[in-house]
Structure 1
Amino acid sequence: MGMSPAPAQAQVTAFKQAIAEAASTDDGVAAFYRENDYQPIWTGTGELDRARRSALLAALGTMSLHGLPDRAVEVARLTKLMQSARTTRDLGMVEVSLSQALVDYASDIQTGILIPSQIDDGMVRVKPKTNGNVFLTGMRDGTPTAFMRSLAPRSSQYRTLMKEKLRLETLMQQGGWGPTVPNRKLELGQSGPDVVALRNRLVAMGYMQQSATGSYDGVIEAAVQQFQAEHGLEADGVAGKGTIAEVNKPVVARLKSVIVAMERERWLPVERGARHVLVNQTDFTAKIIDHGNVTFETRSVIGKNQGDRRSPEFSDEMEHMVINPSWYVPRSIVTKEYLPQLKANPNAVNHIEITDRRGLKVDRSAVDFTQFTARTFPFAMRQPPSNRNALGLVKFMFPNKYNIYLHDTPAKNLFSREVRAYSHGCIRLAQPFEFAYALLARQSEDPKAFFHRVLNTGKETKVELEQKVPVHIIYRTAIISTKGRAEFRRDVYGRDAKIWAALQRAGVVLSGVQG
């Protein structure tokens, strides 16, 4: 980088002016230089500045490892900018360009390149905020290469997903898992070419050792069961059409799931909470996680895959539970579902009370329901506590504007289904009492006795949690299990397909795949 022989003071002023002007578009960058008295961190002549430049350019070259768009064009642009800088003003511009490149890199790798709510209105998750000043200060004060390495998410999910991405890319270059299996039901005792095709694919996927068997024996059955368990299928050891469809999914489909999962992982809060509740919608489970270990798990039912019923994704804090809850019927259900029934018959849905503005019960026989529209219906509806109540006998609250919570349900039959998407959006739990005991164990000597004492009163009772518990409602079709194996789930709401399309538009490409 050449320098023009202007007087020193004028050079300093020109440099500062160039920086101030170039940095004005980014508050974080501008604040950093103001606080730093416009001293350069990239364009000085010292060894450290050179180390920072090379660490930044090297990191920009590795974006595709993270499933992010390749930055080769930007690296070329920055290199050219540095080589062609002649004046003090040029240097000031280079200084800010490198800072801006660092800030963009850091925010992409920490919190992702997409805005969830712009892709699907059910993804109401708000990404963690990033601050350019913090990144630049970290670069100024840290060891350049180590600092650049520290920016990617540190969660074990992220690190293991990154490994899985590499593994799948290698597999894809080697031709994947071989021929697919004809899609018809196969089970114990059968033999023939279709069984051989299934056997070969299970071997290729690592679910069983090399084998010469031509019949569906116990080894194949065990391999199918393990495959089913790791893909959210009923683990009955029978390769029905649903199982074969998943067995036949190509490596590339799984790779897309992993890349989407990495982007989703970047959207999550860095601090999940030493104890937190994790609901993975695609998995139809709710878990309590303590220091990274699953200490409680139950099946769940999520919102139906239609319109406004799909469960949203967000993080919040569980504050209390309500034992013997009343169900205050949401206005949308009152007007869309119940009002038409009441017009036809004033005694319809008679297990639900109709209440006026003051919360007093209304005498149905004295009301002509046909005079109301969805907009003018002046009443509310509530179902008093009982074991027939729509919320069952307990609900777990993390107050949020989406009116989503976890709760019990009288409809226990739904938990035996493989795909459990039936509710109006709330998350129903198969073992709500046990979930309550697990939460209360932190604040009660005998949580079960305490819970049942309150339950037996039959009265609606709010029980505060002494320690609030973060709740993360996520949606992941690729997840790394505690055993370190990649597991996959079906894209029930089609959200991951939308994210993949958005990542592609943003420039993400699959390595080793043409077109």
Structure 2
Amino acid sequence: MKKFLLSLIIISFGFSFFIISCEQKNTKRSEPKAAKINLGPTFDSTLVRPFFKKYPELQEYQKEVTQLYLKRDYQYIWYDKKGILEVGHLLYNKINHLEEEGVKTTIPYKKKLNAIFQNSAAFSKPDATDELFMSSYYFLYVHKVLKGLDTKKTIELGWFLPRKKLSYVNYLDSIIANPSLIEKNEKEVFGQYYSLKDVLQKYKKIAKDNPWDPIETDTSFVAFKPGDSSQTIAQIRHRLFILGDLTNDSKSSTYDDSLITGILKYKKRMGSLKSNHITKKTIASLNIPIVDRIKTIMVNMERCRWITADIAASKELIVVNIPSYELTYFKDGKTVLTSNVVVGKDLNKTAIFSANMRYIVFSPYWNVPRSIVKKEIEPGIAENKNYLAQHNMERINGAIRQKPGPKNSLGLVKFLFPNPYSIYLHDTPSKELFNREKRAFSHGCIRIAKPKELAMEILKDEPIWTPEKIDSAMNKDKEVWHTLKNKIPVFIGYFTAWVDADGVIHFYDDVYQRDEQLATLLFDE
């Protein structure tokens, strides 16, 4: 009997242990995930779709608004217990002053937006409709001010530089954490944007405070030279004072040294040749309405929205601005070389794109493009059977190329950054073109005034490439290829307004007539 009871106890204990073990295993297997911490009140997710149905002019932001609240479990973003947060008020202020950001557009449902902030709602409990309005206006703001036109549109405009990539759903986290970023954030926005924005406010003040009556000249006017006197000179002096090229207005009608300084400063800002003569062209430039200058600034602020901000962080960078006909080479953010350039003529526009420079080719052959062979070489051969020999050209594998030498169309060196547009930088025997004010003469490639200096600067960290060796390589009768140790980003851009490091605004001729096309897309008239 005792043995039976002992066996029964052991069996019971074992069965109990088995049950407990099973319960523990089952508990572990079906353990629920940790609940998310709710940081604030939420609203009903089913309210989103009806909101955008009721306010269709905001529907383009519906997808991002939905993503925003899915990420946040439909918690209120713009409210706390006291009402609308500081960041909400900052956003409202920005929406009310979009023109300061170079944006001219109509704000949909503006009365409704005003009512949110002007009534007691700003200090009351959260309202789902107002919350959705605020998020919609956030996306309206970042699209207009930070993103700009969509990539498809910019490609249609011939802009093939890489666009910045930024999730504006995630970007809101940064703004909420640091509301001052809504004022300025050079980590995400190309710094030139803020420089243009500052100048925009100055030019708007000029437009507000000053009449812009045309500077008049008589029909016999050709040019003013230092020492000349005319009432027109007093008008020019006043205009330069208003624009900031003169520090004071003496109201003198005599062309004196002070006015020479102002004229030279103005011409430099306009990309004009250095001359102290005041010509009809100078006066025509001074007569461009200030509202047109403002429009140009706004157009170029838009172009800044398309540029990735980290371009400035590149260890090395070569930038060509087509309208200014200038190349700038940066190392560690500092300018180490500037050079005049010649760009493509209107029928052979230089493309707006970027690529990495990989090679320098000294004493290059010029493989003549088929289009040039057909339009220029074949007619030349038809008239002169010695055309090829006289131009140091030869036929090879059915194509035509020009041999290395001082008369080679590519000059003595070229710089290659492989791209689908067959564009590169190169020397040229036609040096006189660099002295002209307008320099759009090429078939699309970019001719540089300082090719040897550029090669020397690029190869500065390669001791084997002494100035003597570079000079020798540039004057051989055969090609010499060199592969760069480090690829150098080359950006070819298009800016008709640019603020330099000293905060001075420069305006350049719209060489390819791109500004008006962009302005038509930007401004709601």
TM superposition score normalised by structure 2 = 0.78
Listed one character per residue, the Cα deviations across residues 223-277 of structure 1 (whole Å, up to 9, x for unaligned) are 2222212211111111122222212222222212211121111121211124311
Inter-partner Cα distance in structure 1 for 2:138 and 2:293 = 31
List alignment gaps of at least 5 residues for structure 2: 1-40, 53-58
1:214–1:106 Cα change, 3 Å: closer
Range with bigger deviation, 328-337 or 24-33: 24-33
Match of 2:166 among 105, 108, 130: 130
Kindly state the Cα deviation for residue 457 of structure 1 after the two structures are TM-superposed: 4.4
Does the alignment pair 1:102 with 2:138?
yes
Amino acid of the structure 2 residue aligned with 1:185 = A
Inter-partner Cα distance in structure 2 for 1:201 and 1:44 = 50
Match of 1:113 among 149, 156, 160: 149
Amino acid of the structure 1 residue aligned with 2:305 = R
How many percent identity over aligned positions? Answer: 28
**Equivalent residue, structure 2, for 1:298:** 339
Superposition pairs for residues 25-174 of structure 1, below 5 Å? 29-36=65-72, 38-42=73-77, 45-47=80-82, 50-70=85-105, 72-78=107-113, 98-113=134-149, 121-139=157-175, 142-143=177-178, 145-150=179-184, 154-174=189-209
Listed one character per residue, the Cα deviations across residues 342-394 of structure 1 (whole Å, up to 9, x for unaligned) are 455555344332232xxxxxxxxxxxxxxxxxxxxxx3222222221111111
Check the 8 A contact 2:405/2:476 in 1, yes or no. no
Amino acid of the structure 1 residue aligned with 2:409 = A
Amino acid of the structure 2 residue aligned with 1:393 = L
List alignment gaps of at least 5 residues for structure 1: 1-11, 357-378, 508-515
**Equivalent residue, structure 2, for 1:197:** 235
**Equivalent residue, structure 2, for 1:478:** 497
Amino acid of the structure 2 residue aligned with 1:172 = A
Kindly state the Cα deviation for residue 44 of structure 1 after the two structures are TM-superposed: 5.8
Amino acid of the structure 1 residue aligned with 2:104 = P
Inter-partner Cα distance in structure 2 for 1:17 and 1:165 = 43
Match of 2:316 among 275, 278, 288: 275
Inter-partner Cα distance in structure 1 for 2:411 and 2:62 = 52
Superposition pairs for residues 445-464 of structure 1, below 5 Å? 447-464=466-483
Inter-partner Cα distance in structure 1 for 2:110 and 2:469 = 63
User: How large is the RMSD of aligned CA atoms in angstroms?
Assistant: 3.3
Amino acid of the structure 2 residue aligned with 1:353 = E
**Equivalent residue, structure 1, for 2:358:** 319
Inter-partner Cα distance in structure 2 for 1:120 and 1:181 = 41
Superposition pairs for residues 471-510 of structure 1, below 5 Å? 471-505=490-524
Check the 8 A contact 2:412/2:475 in 1, yes or no. no
Inter-partner Cα distance in structure 2 for 1:329 and 1:344 = 19
Larger radius of gyration between Structure 1 and Structure 2: 2
Match of 2:463 among 438, 444, 457: 444
Range with bigger deviation, 466-475 or 108-117: 108-117
1:411–1:49 Cα change, 3 Å: same
Inter-partner Cα distance in structure 2 for 1:417 and 1:339 = 30
Q: How many residues align?
A: 464
Kindly state the Cα deviation for residue 49 of structure 1 after the two structures are TM-superposed: 6.2
TM superposition score normalised by structure 1 = 0.80
Does the alignment pair 1:421 with 2:440?
yes
Listed one character per residue, the Cα deviations across residues 59-103 of structure 1 (whole Å, up to 9, x for unaligned) are 3223211111345434444567999x9xxxx97676555434323
Amino acid of the structure 1 residue aligned with 2:341 = S
Check the 8 A contact 1:298/1:429 in 2, yes or no. yes
